[in-house]
């Protein structure tokens, strides 16, 4: 059965353009599969638009959403992936793909995610939470990573190797978020897991992906094609099991739905959780679709599965 599907992209945050690329790819794939795709865009100023640049306003957007069988919010970052658009769909009584309000808010908050992981005995990097009022109290003694608590695509993330690099890094992160996380540098392989929750409660974990870069996997290396994605990651059986078990445990503890990407560092002492993305990049060349493709599930098939699972939930 072909469906009328709303695909929502853009967003009022620093990941606006990344989201537009994901939403365009998702919309094209669903349309190629025979669905009636209604493309909605949230402008950088928060204005909702329909395809062709026609402004709708929030009330108009809700009206359009209610004409659709299901919504696919392809939104990254605050005011989108953080549960806000899921809440809108909930209030409008429109089924939607992806995690709900609580999971979106928790996973977007890197500090809260660390607390949840700690309760599960899943290791995270030692870190400290800072604000504009407390940033000056932090004393640099060794290499650290500075990152906004709630931002994605590595915006505002910096590796601080020397004392002189600390103040500019904190300033850049605080420009994006009122709270900043300063974490010890973790040395290990960067391994991503994609977890798909099915309506019957089962969990599917795609083949793990390893990111190989020369330096830090920052915003530029995420999107300039220089990163080497290796699928499946070469792992010993014990390493794979530990990563998969940790990924599913944190997925369930946060209350995720649909597909989420759970990122780790694999160190000599075992997995260290980095972060959880409830709406990761979703072009056909993005990490999660590539992982599922390695398992034999095509991009179109993965999207169709997510849409039909959302309707069945």
CA–CA dist 45, 129 (Å, integer):
29
CA–CA dist 310, 183 (Å, integer):
36
Burial zone of 78 (CB within 10 Å; 0-12 exposed, 13-18 middle, 19+ buried): buried
CA–CA dist 282, 152 (Å, integer):
14
Nearest to 239 by CA among 272, 214, 215: 272
Burial zone of 133 (CB within 10 Å; 0-12 exposed, 13-18 middle, 19+ buried): exposed
pLDDT at 313: 84
Tens-place pLDDT, residues 82-108: 999 999 999 999 999 999 999 999 999
pLDDT at 171: 96
Which residues are registered as beta bridge partners of 38? Answer: 6
Tens-place pLDDT, residues 298-309: 999 999 999 999
CB 272 within 8 A of CB 188: yes
DSSP H/E element including 244: helix 237-254
Domains by residue range for the chain, with CATH: 4-96 (3.40.50.20), 105-124+187-312 (3.30.470.20), 127-184 (3.30.1490.20)
**What mean pLDDT value characterizes the chain?**
93
Tens-place pLDDT, residues 144-201: 999 999 876 578 899 999 999 999 999 999 999 999 999 999 999 999 999 999 999 9
State mean pLDDT over 286-304.
97
Strands 4-10 and 70-73: parallel
pLDDT at 228: 87
User: What pTM was estimated for this model as a whole?
Assistant: 0.92
Tens-place pLDDT, residues 241-274: 999 999 999 999 999 999 999 999 999 999 999 9
CA–CA dist 33, 1 (Å, integer):
10
User: How sure is the predictor about 220, in pLDDT bands with cuts at 50, 70 and 90?
Assistant: low
pLDDT at 19: 94
pLDDT at 267: 97
pLDDT at 221: 55
Tens-place pLDDT, residues 106-155: 999 999 999 999 999 999 999 999 999 999 999 999 999 999 998 765 78
CA–CA dist 130, 268 (Å, integer):
29
pLDDT at 233: 97
């Amino acid at each position: 059965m072909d469906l009328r599907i709303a695909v929502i992209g853009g967003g009022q945050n620093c990941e606006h353009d990344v989201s537009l690329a994901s939403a365009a790819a998702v919309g094209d794939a669903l349309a190629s599969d025979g669905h009636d795709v209604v493309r909605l865009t949230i402008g950088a100023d928060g204005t909702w638009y329909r395809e062709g640049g026609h402004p709708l306003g929030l009330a108009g957007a809700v009206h359009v959403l209610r004409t659709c069988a299901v919504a696919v919010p392809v939104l990254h970052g605050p005011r989108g992936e953080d549960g806000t658009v899921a809440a809108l769909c909930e209030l409008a009584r429109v089924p939607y793909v992806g995690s709900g309000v609580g999971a979106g808010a928790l996973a977007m908050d890197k500090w809260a995610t660390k607390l949840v992981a700690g309760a599960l005995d899943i290791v995270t990097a030692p870190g400290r939470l800072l604000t504009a009022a407390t940033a000056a109290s932090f004393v640099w003694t060794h290499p650290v990573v500075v990152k906004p608590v709630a931002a994605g695509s590595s915006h505002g993330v910096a590796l601080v190797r020397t004392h002189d690099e600390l103040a500019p890094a904190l300033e850049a992160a605080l420009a994006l978020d009122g709270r900043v996380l300063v974490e010890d540098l973790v040395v290990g392989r960067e391994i991503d897991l994609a977890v798909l929750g099915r309506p019957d409660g089962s969990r599917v974990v795609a083949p793990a992906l390893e990111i190989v870069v020369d330096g830090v996997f920052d915003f530029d290396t995420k999107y300039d094609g220089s990163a080497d994605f290796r699928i499946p990651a070469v792992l010993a059986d014990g390493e794979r099991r530990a990563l998969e078990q940790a990924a599913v445990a944190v997925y369930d503890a946060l209350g995720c739905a649909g597909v989420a990407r759970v990122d780790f560092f694999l160190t000599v002492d075992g997995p260290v959780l980095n972060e959880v993305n409830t709406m990761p990049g979703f072009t056909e060349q993005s990490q999660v679709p590539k992982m599922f493709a390695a398992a034999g599930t095509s991009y179109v098939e993965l999207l169709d599965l997510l849409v039909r699972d959302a309707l069945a939930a």
